Structure formats: structure tokens, C-alpha cells
Homo-oligomer: A and B are copies of this chain.
């Protein structure tokens, strides 16, 4: 049976299952969510109003046995940035959606009144149910309760208090195989779900499976693909230390923004490094190696236990650890893990929220390094929706404006993560030109600038950075459409067998004949679709700029400023 579009209208509480329009057939994941947003969302609408839509789409290979293909895309007009937005996540939801034949779930409209709802999806369609018990609850309670309510292996997507209260740092949590959460993290998509009064979405595919046009070819390609993934040295480092392997590397490069982006190295870096984390995890009986979705062969996630050996958090990423650690000068991994868990429960992006804390520290709201006060604010202010809690829960830009702080590291109002663009210049081009606000994943130049993947480039020099960011952004847009984890990119950049095998899998899955060029062109067209939406929403090339302070304030130890001209940045779009 062909895949379908599942559509839910929250204004009149109606649902429908529709054929996939011809224009959308070749799309999946980010390519599909961005295509649908561009087609159906008025670019100037209020992101939390009835005219915005929330779209979930599994990738083109999600639900198959292809390694690392379990990513879920969620698209909308972002309440944080005002741009088009795609956020993607691991967990089990993409595979459930793909298996039930749901090419995309489109949620539109907005109910009047105060009632909350849940959705449950099966291959037969969508059921809308009033929800009372779980309103006001955090994600972990929601997950545990929803799992009890349904039988069988279900996928769950939910929002915590952050999304209910329409905070623009609110994310959407996605259940992972161990009933912990992964996050559709950035851009405030949890607030869009909250604006539609949906607390959770349960996904039951039953025993339905994804059809493969040519299973033999698919298996052969997947074998080559998997081998490329597991044999790449970066994959292996990720399996050992997680993404947090980066703390020491980025600190050494002098590009780890510290104390709200006032310097590029953190004295406490060893206390929060991947190496330290690995040893603590092993010592306390956690798991240093853990997959966020079935079929992952890299396993960059982990189970981080507390001092007593009890589960504390998982999916504990460098960018979150950096944000709470170096940016807020908290040199204590246990405190950071505790905050990570609390943010997962409230359902707020740990990058956006932690960078917001850094700005709040600069604004005098609390002291740098005061993790106890951060925890108090998380639990007593943000989770409860006090004024201060909402200011921080609305992100770094919100704190900056509320407290009159001028050193506010955001692009298009989304917090800049983990890599200082003055000292690692390629990532600055990505932050500036991203169609979605500052986002390292959208064109991860760190691969080449710091890790030497796909060649080498001097992070302190401007030469070649625009081209690097462009090539990676194009490739990433395509990868984000396949359902593949971005971490396949390391192998794809260095191992000549990897990308052809991925194309072979796409062809075998659908019985088509894509070439590598087709994939590149797909990436280009997605970027252009996204940019056209933003232009129609009122953005201009002047929004593709970093905040002024990066040009005015040199960062130690290299004492460099951001020195790209507007013209140089705008050349990014020459393709």
C-alpha cells in the first residue's frame, strides 16, 4: 500500500488520510517538511496562531533496516526564529510512522477553549482524545503513563510544561528504545505543538513493515554502508566518548565560547570532557555506548548514572554540556547531567536554555557558575511558568532583550551553540546563512576545520569557508531527507563507498534510479525552498549576519574577531 499523508485539523477536530501529492512523492524527512511548510503555511502568519502547521515526517529510509536511518523530521514556522524550521531527532517515532505508512503527519488549526488533547496514530488513521491527567506534567511522567495506556511497542512524541506554556525554547520529546527521550530540540517546535493543544502523540504501527522494491540490492548496499560507518575513526571516537569528545578538542582550538562568549577557553574543561565522562560512566555502571534508535551502528549516546549508580541522563551531548558548562562556567558534570535531565523533563532545548542562562548571568540575574541557582530556576521558575521562568524559557534573545544585555549570541534569535565563530570561522558562515537560525548541525564545518574530515582547512582563516559551509549545508539538507543520522557524514566525506551505497539503498527501497547528482540537487532545492519561505516571511540578506559583538570584541586566546563582510557572506547563496 502506498504511503499516505495523515492530516489532523485541531480547529474542528477532524482527521483524514490523503494520497501523497505528486510533488511530494520524492521527498522525505526535512525535504518533505520544508516542502509542506512552504506549500501550506502563510509565511507571515503568527507561529503560535491557527495558520501555522506542525508537520512530522520520517526520512526516506526510515523504517527500513538501513543503518542509522531512524531520524524523524519535524517542520513548522518557528516561534523562536520566525523562519521555516526543521528539527530532527532519533528515537523510535520515525520508524513507527514509516512502518504505518505515514509519509507525513500534518497538524493544522487550533482548538478554541482550554481543553487539551492527545493523538494516537495507527495504520488506519488518527484518533483525537481529550487529555486531562497529564496536563502540567513533565515528559518522563507522560512517557511512563502513555506506555502503560497502550499495549505493544509504541512510539511517543510529547511536550512538557515548556511546550504547554508556549515557551519558545520548548522542544518535542521523542521516546527512545529504552523509554528515555531524544529531542526535536531547536526552534520552539514544542510551543507550536502546545499552541495546538496536543500533549502527546502515540504511534502504533502494529506489525506493518516498510516495503522494499529490491531487497537483495538493499541488503547488499546496507552492508557496504554499515561497514563504512563503523570503520571511520570519528565514528569510533563517538562510540567511546560520545559527542562530548569535543570538549578537549574545541577548547584546545580556542573556540569554546566561555562565560557568555567572553573568552575561547574554559579553565574547567577537563572536568566536563568526554574522557572524564567516559570514566565516570564506566565507574558508575552506566553505558558509554548506546543507540538512540534501533539500527544505529555508531551509538554515540550513553547512559550516565549518578554517584549512586542510578540513571541520570542519556543523549548527553557536547553542545548541551558546553552550554551549561563552559558558557555558564559550571565545571561539574553531575550538576550538568542533573540539569540536562530536568530540561528533558520540562521539555526545553538544553542549548537554547543554557545559553539563555549565560546571558542571564551577564545580566545579573544570577552568578556565573551557580548551578544550584540554575537548578532552582529550572524547577521553581521555568517549570512553573513564573515571569523569570518564561523569560529564560523563551531563549537567549528573550533574556537579552528583557535585561538589556548587548552580548547576546543568537542568529535569527536562535542561540549560537558551542563553537565560537571568531576562532572557528567556517561554522560562523553556517550560523549566519542557516535558513533556521544559528545551528551547528545544518552545515557542520567542524568536521573539516577541527576533525580533518573531508580534507583540512585553517579554522582561523577565511579562505574556503563559504564554500565549505555551502557544500556541507547542501549535503546535510539531503541527508536530513533520508532519515539518516548526520553522523554518516564523516564516513561519507572520507570513504568513497559510503555515499554510493546510500544512493543504492534509496534506489532499492523505491525502485528508482537516483544518481549522486540527484541527491546534491535535492539538497540545493531544499535550501532554496527554505530560503524562499524566509524571504516571503520578511527576512533579507541582512538577517544572515552574526551579532555585532563578534565584530567588536576579540576573543582569547587567538584574539580574533569575526571579519567576514556582508558581501562575502552573501556569496554563500551563489548556487
A binding-site residues for B, Cβ under 8 Å: 44-46, 48-51, 79, 165-168, 191, 194-195, 365, 386-388, 390-391, 394, 398, 401-404, 406, 536-538, 540, 542-543, 545, 547-549, 552
**Complex Cα spacing A484 to B316, Å:** 63
Query: What is the CA–CA distance of A540 and B44 in the complex, to the nearest angstrom?
Result: 12
C-alpha spacing A24/B391, complex, angstroms: 43
The answer to whether residues A548 and B46 also contact, given A398-B401, A402-B394, A404-B165 and a CB cut-off of 8 A, is: yes
Residue of B nearest to A408 (CB): B46
Residues of B within 8 A of A79 (CB): 404
State A2–B50 Cα separation when bound (angstroms): 60
Residue of A50, A166, A406 contacting most chain B CB atoms (<10 Å): A406
Residue among A51, A195, A542 with the most chain B CB within 10 A? A542
A168 CA / B404 CA spacing, docked (Å): 8
By secondary structure, the A interface counts as loop
26 of the cross-chain contacts (CB-CB < 8 Å) are: A44-B548, A45-B548, A46-B406, A46-B547, A46-B549, A48-B404, A49-B406, A49-B552, A79-B404, A165-B404, A168-B401, A191-B404, A194-B404, A195-B404, A365-B387, A386-B387, A387-B387, A387-B402, A388-B388, A390-B391, A391-B402, A394-B402, A398-B401, A398-B402, A537-B542, A538-B540
Q: Which residues of B contact A548 (CB under 8 A)?
A: 44-46, 49, 51
The CB with the most chain B CB atoms within 10 A, among A48, A50, A401, A548, is that of: A401
Q: Which residues of B contact A388 (CB under 8 A)?
A: 387-388
In the bound complex, what is the Cα–Cα distance between A386 and B387 (angstroms)?
A: 9
Contact check, A542 vs B538: say whether CB atoms are below 8 A apart.
Answer: yes
A364: nearest chain-B partner, CB-CB = B385
Chain B residues, Cβ within 8 Å of A165: 404
Which B residues are CB-close (under 8 A) to A167? 404
Report B-chain residues with C-beta under 8 Å of the C-beta of A365. 387
A552 to B11, CA, bound (A): 14
CB closest residue in chain B, given A194: B404
Q: How far is the CA of A44 from the CA of B552 in the complex (A)?
A: 13
**B residues near A45, Cβ cutoff 8 Å:** 548
Would you give the shortest CB distance from A376 to chain B, in whole angstroms? 14
- A165 vs B545: C-alpha distance in the bound complex, in angstroms? 27
The reply to whether A545 and B44 form a contact with Cβ atoms under 8 Å apart is: yes
A179 to chain B, nearest CB (A): 29
Residue of B at shortest CB range from A393?
B402
Neighbouring B residues of A391 by C-beta, 8 Å: 387, 390-391, 402
In the bound complex, how far is the Cα of B566 from the Cα of A538, in angstroms?
12
User: How far does the alpha carbon of A403 sit from the alpha carbon of B404 in the complex, in Å?
Assistant: 19
- Complex Cα distance, B390 from A44, in Å, reads 28
Residues of B within 8 A of A394 (CB): 401-402
Distance from A450 Cβ to chain B, minimum over Cβ atoms (Å): 30
Given contacts A401-B168, A401-B394, contact A406 B542 (CB under 8 A): no
Chain B residues whose C-beta falls within 8 Å of the C-beta of A390 in the assembled complex:
391, 402-403
Interface centre among A79, A194, A394 (most CB of B within 10 A): A394
Q: How many Å lie between the Cα of A403 and that of B46 in the bound state? A: 14
The CA of A296 and the CA of B402, in the complex, are separated in Å by 39
Q: In the complex, A34 Cα to B388 Cα: how many Å?
A: 36
